[in-house]
Amino acid sequence: MNVLVVLIPVSLVLGGLGLAAFLWSLRNDQYEDLDGDAWRILSEDDDAPRGS
C-alpha cells in the first residue's frame, strides 16, 4: 500500500511531461506537413547521394 504513495505521483508527473511534450509539438507546427515526407521520398533528385 505504501508503494502507491510513490507510484501515483510518479505517474502523474510522467503524464504531465507527455502532455507538455505534445502541446510543445503542436505549438511548433510539427504536424503541419504530413504528406510532404511521403511525397519527398518518392521524388527522384539528381543530387541525392547514391548507395554502393
| Over residues 8-19, mean pLDDT | 98
Question: Which amino acid is it at 8?
Answer: I
pLDDT at 29 over 60: yes
pTM over 0.85: no
Cell numbers placing 4: 502507491
% of the chain at pLDDT higher than 90:
52
Confidence category of residue 49, pLDDT binned at 50, 70, 90: low
Q: Distance (Å, rounded) from C-alpha 30 to C-alpha 10? A: 27
Beta-carbon contacts of 31 under 8 Å, excluding residues fewer than 6 positions away, are 25
Question: Would you give the DSSP letter of residue 29?
Answer: T
